Amino acid sequence: MNKRILIADDEPTVVALARQKLEEHGFFVETARNGKEAWDIIKSVKIDLLILDVIMPVMDGVDVYKEMKKEPKTANIPIIIITDNRIFRESFQTLGVEHFLPKPMDGEKLLHKVDYVFTCADLERKNKQALILTPNLEGGAEIAKILQDKGVIVGKTSDPIEFLSNSLILAPKVVFIDILTMGEVPATDVIAAMKAFGRLKDTRILVFTQFSPDNMDSMEGIEQLRQAKNDCMEAGAHQYIGRFTPATFWDMVKDALY
């Protein structure tokens, strides 16, 4: 059954871009030009996800969020806040919002975020679950496909903070972390942070890389790869996933999921 998404934003270009991208990928899309229209739709139609602007006429995004939290049937609808304002983002994080998109909106990032939000929502309802952190989302595609073919629900992200946040919320059975550095937060810091939380004590941390020594064109590159792997293992990772086939990969990870 296709998901129904409500986009609430008073900027027509934002709504048009988001609607086109989402409908192209099979979602049903409702739109609202202000917070009151959004709230009226939420009360009358089953919404699976709300993409919400902050500053809107008649009723702003904060008021919409507060009204939703008052009603049991709308309190758990996933929300993505559209903002490039740090203060707005931090304010919504204080209220409990976890998912954000900056302006101007990027269509591909929107799709990745929507997919990730729905995946995380599914993970909360299922037993077999895994999260993947990689700077290149395509890089984790092979791992994701193998797991999904075995009935595992998989969430992927390139944002270490989002990854940690959702790991704490979902407490997945297993996570896969690319050993390559991700911006200002290296993989070793992500692993160390996970090991610090008692809630994640049963989560298996598996590390991997998209490269192998055969792909390296210098001894220096090979040594950097080996050092990154060793650093991740010392930080607390449970296992390194080297080169694999679907069969050998599943043999390596299935015990962590059952």
Instruction: Please report, for the chain, the start and end positions of each structural domain, with discontinuous segments joined by +.
Output: 4-110, 127-257
Domains 4-110 and 127-257 share a fold: yes
Please enumerate, as own/partner, the contacts of 111-115 that have beta carbons within 8 Å and a separation of 24 or more: 111/21, 111/22, 111/25, 112/137, 112/156, 112/157, 113/80, 114/5, 114/22, 114/27, 114/49, 114/51, 114/80
127-257 adopts what CATH topology? Answer: Rossmann fold (3.40.50)
Q: Which CATH superfamily is domain 4-110 in?
A: Response regulator (3.40.50.2300)
Helix, strand or coil, per DSSP, at residue 101 = strand
DSSP 8-state assignment for residue 198: G
pLDDT in tens, the chain (258 residues): 589 999 999 999 999 999 999 999 999 999 999 999 999 999 999 999 999 999 999 999 999 999 998 887 888 899 999 988 888 888 888 888 888 998 888 888 899 899 888 887 765 555 578 999 988 777 678 888 888 888 788 888 888 988 998 899 888 889 999 987 666 789 999 999 999 998 898 899 999 887 655 555 555 667 878 888 999 999 999 999 887 788 788 888 887 776
